[in-house]
Amino acid sequence: MTGRAGSMTAGVADVARRAWRDLAAHWRRPAPVAPLWPLWSALAVLAVAALIAVGMALDERTARAVFQLDPRLRHFFGPVTQAGKSNWLFALSVLAVVYGLFRRETAATLKLRAAWGLFASRGLYFFAVMAFSGIAAQIVKHVVGRARPYLIGADGPFHFDLFSLRAVEASFPSGHTTTVFAALTALTLLWPRRGPAFLLVALPVAASRIMLGAHYPSDVAGGACLGVFCALIVARIFARRRIAFTLAPDAILPKPRGRRLAGSGRT
């Protein structure tokens, strides 16, 4: 029994070493791309202007209206908002990476090995998006320090305590919305034709954060922008190294690798 456990541990370590070696080989050879900082800067300015407009037009009115709703209607959105939690998405991405790597090691042909390697790389991309977007949301939350809607009576809709570590002052951006829009964008980049279906999941989660009184509309809009941005940035980083994506030197959006792999064996 001990010998079998030791053999299994050695096998896992060997798979992990080979996977790390393959990843490192890709990571050391980034492809050159055109600088996009002027475009990103312009989009950032537009996003900030849009968020300010949404906040001025909707935040106070919407928050006060939500607290006047029947509590039973608001509680209906409780289960919906759970889809925006990152823990189960992290777990799925880790399982995808592990399962893909082990299936790659046991593949009978080079074609199947390539297919399962691609599956694992997509899981790794999704994990990286969840990690990056989650960290980014937490940093912005505590730098901005916006009071949550249930403090509107005492602090008003635009109370900011910069660099606050208190949860009641972590309203902007919505973490759930950041997570679900990062996941939506990541999955849409991997499977472009299914984007509308993914959006149908993301929008109710975003709406639930407003209906539960946890966030203002501008918090949700900010979370959506941040989630999309994080998924795009990570996709471009991966694409430059031909991990899960490819990227033309002058392109903005990366293309998923292996879209025809299952049918033709091409990568």
What's the predicted TM-score (pTM) here? 0.89
Q: Residue 263: what pLDDT?
A: 41
Q: What is the arithmetic mean of pLDDT over 127-135? A: 97
What Å distances lie between residue 45 and 41, 48, 49, CA to CA? 6, 5, 6
Q: Residue 225: what pLDDT?
A: 96
| Torsion 117-118-123-129 (CA) sign | positive
| Residues of the chain above pLDDT 90, percent | 58
* Separation of alpha carbons 59 and 93, rounded Å: 35
Q: What is the arithmetic mean of pLDDT over 200-204? A: 90
pLDDT tens-digit series, residues 67-122: 898 887 778 888 889 888 889 999 999 999 999 988 888 888 888 888 999 999 99
Helix, strand, coil proportions of the chain in percent (round to 5)? 75, 0, 25
For residue 22, the one-letter residue type is D
**C-beta neighbour count of 200 within 10 angstroms:** 10
Res 12 pLDDT > 80: no
Q: What is the arithmetic mean of pLDDT over 135-158? A: 95
Res 7 pLDDT > 60: no
Res 10 pLDDT > 60: no
Cβ atoms 230, 183 nearer than 8 A: no
Res 261 pLDDT > 50: no
Across 12-26, 87-101, 182-196, least confident range: 12-26
pLDDT tens-digit series, residues 212-240: 999 999 999 999 999 999 999 999 999 99
| Torsion 198-224-86-67 (CA) sign | negative
